[in-house]
Structure 1
């Protein structure tokens, strides 16, 4: 039952054991991870194309993704709002523009086009000879190996993490409140509760959640997980500037795992350098937790 969990967590753990001090190699690693994400999403699109009567499943995909998005978002924001009431507003200089949020939105739209390209390509392939599941599994294992190396060499030391209670609090609240939202979403959709917990454990990491859930539950639910977490990221980009001044925990926490990479430029621009270590600690913990909890909950089925 836990063979799938082992096959995915093993390369992540192996990657985390590999030190890399060369900045040029780390740059190549970062580029490779980005390229692997595009490849795996393309393969996910091909898997979706192999689903019988795909058009009939589109309603299910959007219904599942939107229900989970609403439930998880409401639970996250409620928990983070309570944390902001206790901690108060962020103190520190505001940042300067680093990157346009519209450029980030266009990048996310490009990921959707990659999946669409996979769906179109899949129309011309024979599912009997093109073993997309096997290819996706090997590509996923390589991606997680590279991600493990990234996490090890991200510059975050255990001491830095443990000495940032705000970042730890944000990560803990996002973890727990996401599960509450996932359970509610599963109940509303009449899904197994462990599936709802798995959906809620993506923490905005759309490429990973879509891939893992597609591998375990099929491309229809995998696509729903992808849309759920991608939409969450897009909403975070739009909400961060409005939330940062009065509700900094909400601004950081709603971005979840992406707070250490994709939404970090928006966070820095809105909250200044004071928000950066908080965002990196929170995002680091959630990035590490996402594959572990997703696969653990999926293995319970």
Structure 2
């Protein structure tokens, strides 16, 4: 039963245990990781095109992704606002001018276009394309190994994580409320509790959640997980400037796992350098938890 869990965690753990410190190699790992994400999402689109009853499945994907995204985000906001009331975040930063949010949103949508390209390619039903699922499994193992290397190479030590109380608190609230939202979504959608919890465990990391969920639950749930987490990131990009002054904790928490990379520049420009350590700690913890939780609930 847990062989799939072990298979997913092993390359991640091996990558994290390797002490990679040479900067040029870290840059190469990051570039290769980006390309691997595109390749696997392309395979995911191909697998989607091979589904039976395709029209009904596309509507199902839209229904699952919208309901799960709403449930998870609402639970996140409730938990984060309760945390902010109990532990107010004092700051004196004045918001700066931001880069184009439309440009950043388009960068996120590029991955969606890769899935669409794979889907269109798969509609040809060229026989070799039927092996896309098997090819994506091997690519996934390499991806997880690279993710482990990237997390280790971030330079975040256990001492730094434990000392940043705000980042840890926000990460814990996002963790628990995302699972609560996933459980609620499972009831509304009519899927198993494990599936709902796995949907809630992506924490906005759409590229990884789409891949892992496709391998475990098939292309319908995998695609729904991808769009669920993509909606979360797009919403975070749009709302950070509006929330950061009065709802600083919610602005950080909505970014989820992406607060240590993609949404970090927006957080820094809106909330100042003070928010950066908390953002990195939250992103690091949730990035570490996401594949572990999804693998656990998939098993």
Same fold (TM over 0.5): yes
Verify the 8 A CA contact 1:90 1:248 in the aligned structure 2. Answer: no
Q: Give 1:15's aligned residue.
A: 15
Q: Cα gap change, 1:76/1:181 in structure 2, threshold over 3 Å: closer, same or farther?
A: same
Q: Give 2:136's aligned residue.
A: 136
Q: Give 1:66's aligned residue.
A: 66
1:44-82 Cα offsets, whole Å, 9 max, x none, are: 000101111212211100110111011110100000001
Shift of 1:24: 1.2
More displaced stretch, 14-23 vs 277-286 = 14-23
Verify the 8 A CA contact 2:101 2:237 in the aligned structure 1. Answer: yes
Distance between the aligned counterparts of 1:17 and 1:56, measured in 2? 44
SS of 1:93's equivalent? coil
SS of 2:274's equivalent? helix
Shift of 1:124: 2.1
Distance between the aligned counterparts of 1:98 and 1:148, measured in 2? 31
Shift of 1:95: 6.1
Verify the 8 A CA contact 2:47 2:130 in the aligned structure 1. Answer: no
Q: Give 1:282's aligned residue.
A: 282
More displaced stretch, 9-18 vs 104-113 = 104-113
Q: Give 1:180's aligned residue.
A: 180
Q: Give 2:243's aligned residue.
A: 243
Distance between the aligned counterparts of 1:246 and 1:142, measured in 2? 42
SS of 1:273's equivalent? coil
Verify the 8 A CA contact 1:92 1:272 in the aligned structure 2. Answer: no
* TM-score of the pair, normalised by structure 2: 0.97
**RMSD over equivalenced CA pairs, Å:** 1.4
**Residue pairs, 1:100-249, within 5 angstroms:** 100-127=100-127, 130-249=130-249
Shift of 1:249: 1.0
Shift of 1:276: 0.3
1:175-207 Cα offsets, whole Å, 9 max, x none, are: 111111111110111211111001000100101
Distance between the aligned counterparts of 1:31 and 1:94, measured in 2? 34
Shift of 1:98: 6.7
SS of 1:131's equivalent? helix
Q: Give 1:272's aligned residue.
A: 272
Verify the 8 A CA contact 2:50 2:130 in the aligned structure 1. Answer: no
More displaced stretch, 271-280 vs 24-33 = 24-33
Distance between the aligned counterparts of 1:155 and 1:14, measured in 2? 17
* TM-score of the pair, normalised by structure 1: 0.96
Q: Give 1:53's aligned residue.
A: 53
Distance between the aligned counterparts of 1:8 and 1:226, measured in 2? 18
Q: Give 2:34's aligned residue.
A: 34
Distance between the aligned counterparts of 1:26 and 1:294, measured in 2? 26
Distance between the aligned counterparts of 1:288 and 1:258, measured in 2? 12
Distance between the aligned counterparts of 2:272 and 2:117, measured in 1? 38
Q: Give 1:75's aligned residue.
A: 75
Distance between the aligned counterparts of 1:267 and 1:259, measured in 2? 8
SS of 1:245's equivalent? coil
Q: How many pairs does the alignment contain?
A: 299
Verify the 8 A CA contact 1:50 1:127 in the aligned structure 2. Answer: no
Distance between the aligned counterparts of 1:63 and 1:114, measured in 2? 21
Shift of 1:90: 4.0
